[in-house]
Amino acid sequence: MKTGQRYFGMTLAQIGILAVLALVACIAIGIMGTLMLNSVPNTQQTQPTYTLQPSPTPVVTSTPWPTITPIPDWQEYSFADGQARIWLPASYIGGDIATSSEEIMEKLKGTIDDEAFANDIQGLMASPEISFFAFDTEFTSSVRFMFVGSETLSPDLVIKMDDYLNNMVDNSTDGSNRVVERQVTQLDYYPVGKLVVESKIPAEDVEVYVTIAIYVIQVDNTMWIITFRTGREEFGSYRSIIEASARSFWIQR
């Protein structure tokens, strides 16, 4: 694709700005968790020192991978040191950022010839919270990409998914972002918090909108955040693909 080509009146460089908007959701989560921990007053007083008696070492047992029927023309990805898996359509290119970031960027630049856009994506992938990134090579009018991030919570922190979503909404909505869907629901294996956010991008005299779907899944003391980004006009027809991919997500415990 040629540099400077426009989609809905917007260059790919402008589209790349959305990577930053989508990243805000993950960053806000980390900030929120830190603020919540810091907001709890320290009322503990000095306690006497006790000698702890040795206790038996607990036996850790892992959950087996579920038997998932392969989705035709889809590919399974493994990331986060093999701890996580997700399925995506074959048109997507992506992988574990820790091991495949250079390969992903090379293929991205071969698909989208726009240096500003590539730089935005590279900045997104450099975020320590993000462990997986993929983009769709068969997008039409608006670049489609997705990523998976995570936040480790304190084992002593008890938080309801409703409160977690509320804090995400408070930290990610402004005049350019609007939450159009918010729910706590159940995917095949996990309870999940879900947000669908519409983002407006200035593009000359045309208002351009994209849709960001965010799935928040808590596994033990880790919040996994799966984020999909696509054009608002195509979100309705693409929604089933996003949902199927989110349902395929699995964590080895």
Q: Which two tokens stand for residue 165?
A: 């979503």
What is the pLDDT tens value at each position of the chain, 253 positions in all? 433 333 333 333 333 344 344 444 444 444 333 333 333 333 344 444 434 344 444 444 455 656 666 788 899 999 999 999 999 999 999 999 999 999 999 999 888 877 888 888 889 899 999 999 999 998 766 778 999 999 888 888 788 888 888 888 887 666 678 898 999 988 888 889 999 999 887 666 677 788 999 999 998 889 999 999 998 888 999 999 999 999 999 998 7
CB burial readout 72-91, b (16+ within 10 A) else e: eebbebebbeebbbbbbbee
Between CA 236 and CA 70 the distance in angstroms is 24
Domains delineated in the chain = 8-35+73-251 (3.40.1000.10)
pTM: 0.74
